[in-house]
Amino acid sequence: MIGSAFPQLNARDSLQLVSPLPQISTCSAAQLREQVARFYAGKFSNIPSSICLAPGRINLIGEHVDYNSGVVLPFAIDLHSAVAVGLNSTSLIRVSSQLDGVVHELSAAPDAGRWPGWLRYLQGTLKLWSQRTERPPFGFDLAVTSTLPMGAGLSSSASLCVAILSALQTAATGRASLPQVEQPPTWEQAQLCQQVEHQFANVPCGLMDQLVVLAGQRNHLLAIDFHEMTLEPIPWPGSDLSCLLIHTGVQHDLATSEYGLRRATCESAARKLGALSLRSVTLENLLAASSALTDLEFKRARHVVSEIERTMQATANCRAGQAEQLGRLMDESHVSLRDDYEVSCMELDYLVEQVRQLPGVLGARMTGGGFGGSMIALLPTQSLSLSLLEKLLATYESRFGLNPRWLLCQPSSGSIELNSGD
């Protein structure tokens, strides 16, 4: 049922809806491109030579399994980081993000000290990319704008690194006096951006976010198998289906949270089970060998092993268009993340529980690393009742004193480069 005060919903058109609800604001790639070009011009009194957009992502299912050689099923969303770039004739980098609007002037050699705040992502990407390409430092101007909420579990950091990497690549390619740089393959680019997180942001993340940000496809999920190292686009299970995304308003902080501990516990469980990773462990193996593990290792491993099975099943369900089964797997995934992996929080649990009761909802779960961030629900687009959602969010707001924001999503495409003539 549609709330009577609102027109019928289509996932993409809903972005244009005039709704009293606190939606995550978004805009088209063309609008974002104009916005970042304007921002760049305002800061550097010039026009950029190229603009690179990289999306955020939602993980439909397969949480905390990428670093266990598992399988995941994420998709890129219509929220982006936008990076505009142009060479300057100095040996300095001038850079600004709409986040604070400050123009930072930095040495083009990224070795000089630790760059503060968000600049660490630029420093890391620039340093690792320069090492890989053996490129001498060169001066450039770079501006960043974004429609992605940060710390919302939608991978704004991976999106930022991928957009910066593409921008550096195009900036260098555009300069005739510099040797041309061949674009490295997707896995290599993703690994470079992952190393930025590890070495410069202190987040020991897996590789899922970077891969889907780079290689997501419109109307498709991306099945990633970290053991086989394969990427396979899987058609979205129904054009009438959408993912309702709600950001709890709780910003996660994976670097200081328990993310690293989870990873270490999985590795020690695998070692005790004589496995290279938890990917090669079945539920039967795990139960049979449970006495070799501490209770905590057993619980963590049970999440990983069962989540990998659920994700494989979910991939088969998507192929067969079996949305109801998919929804049930999402429900089970949330319970496992909440009880065995213990990465949920009361705000996520509350929203998952409440949204699960909305008409048409087939399944709901937290998405992303957890400890805050966002939840998702799968439902037929037309069944979303905006009036019920409004009531639910108002109750949440008064109960937790937080400002939740929502968006209806379907899979969008991965990172794109726009030359100034596009």
> Is residue 146 close enough to count as binding ligand ADP by CB under 6 A?
yes
> Is residue 311 close enough to count as binding ligand ADP by CB under 6 A?
no
Residue 182 CB neighbours (<10 A): 8
Judge contact between 237 and 75, C-beta under 8 A: no
Residue 387: strand, helix, or coil = helix
- Which whole-number Å values give the CA distances from 25 to 251, 328, 377, 405, in the listed order? 17, 30, 19, 9
> Is residue 315 close enough to count as binding Mg ion by CB under 5 A?
no
Find the binder of ligand ADP among 153, 206, 327, 414 (CB under 6 A). Answer: 153
Q: How far is the CB of 365 from Mg ion (least distance, A)?
A: 19
Judge contact between 217 and 233, C-beta under 8 A: yes
Span interacting with ligand ADP, options 114-122, 225-233, 294-302, 381-389, rule CB under 6 A: 114-122
Judge contact between 66 and 224, C-beta under 8 A: yes
Judge contact between 415 and 162, C-beta under 8 A: yes
Give residues 231-290 in contact with ligand ADP (rule: CB under 6 A). 254
- Choosing among ligand ADP, Mg ion, none, which partner's interface includes residue 153 (Cβ < 5 to 8 Å by kind)? ligand ADP
Nearer to ligand ADP, 107 or 257 (CB): 257
Span interacting with Mg ion, options 125-133, 153-161, 182-190, 262-270, rule CB under 5 A: 153-161
* Strand order through the sheet with 220-225: 71-72, 220-225, 230-235
How many residues belong to the site for Mg ion (CB under 5 A)?
Answer: 1
Judge contact between 78 and 49, C-beta under 8 A: no
Beta bridge partners of 374: 247, 367
> Is residue 123 close enough to count as binding ligand ADP by CB under 6 A?
no
> Is residue 157 close enough to count as binding Mg ion by CB under 5 A?
yes
Find the binder of ligand ADP among 26, 35, 155, 315 (CB under 6 A). Answer: 155
Kindly name the residue from 66, 209, 225, 340 that is annotated as catalytic. 209
Judge contact between 358 and 379, C-beta under 8 A: yes
Angle CA 361–340–375, to nearest 5: 30
> Is residue 118 close enough to count as binding ligand ADP by CB under 6 A?
yes
Nearer to Mg ion, 157 or 242 (CB): 157
Nearer to Mg ion, 161 or 312 (CB): 161
Judge contact between 163 and 179, C-beta under 8 A: no
Give residues 196-215 in contact with Mg ion (rule: CB under 5 A). none
> Is residue 152 close enough to count as binding ligand ADP by CB under 6 A?
yes
Find the binder of ligand ADP among 95, 160, 196, 281 (CB under 6 A). Answer: 160
Pairing of strands 241-247, 405-409: antiparallel
**Encoded tokens for 93:** 């980098």
Residue 212: strand, helix, or coil = helix
Is 13 noted as a catalytic residue in this protein?
no
Nearer to ligand ADP, 254 or 304 (CB): 254
Helix (H), strand (E) at residue 381: none
Q: How far is the CB of 345 from Mg ion (least distance, A)?
A: 17
User: How far is Cα 237 from Cα 313, in angstroms, rounded to an integer?
Assistant: 13
How many residues belong to the site for ligand ADP (CB under 6 A)?
Answer: 19
Beta bridge partners of 255: none
Give residues 194-233 in contact with ligand ADP (rule: CB under 6 A). 203
Q: How far is the CB of 157 from Mg ion (least distance, A)?
A: 3
Residues annotated as catalytic are: 209
Q: Which residues bind ligand ADP (CB under 6 A)?
A: 81, 97, 99, 117-118, 121, 144, 146, 150-157, 160, 203, 254
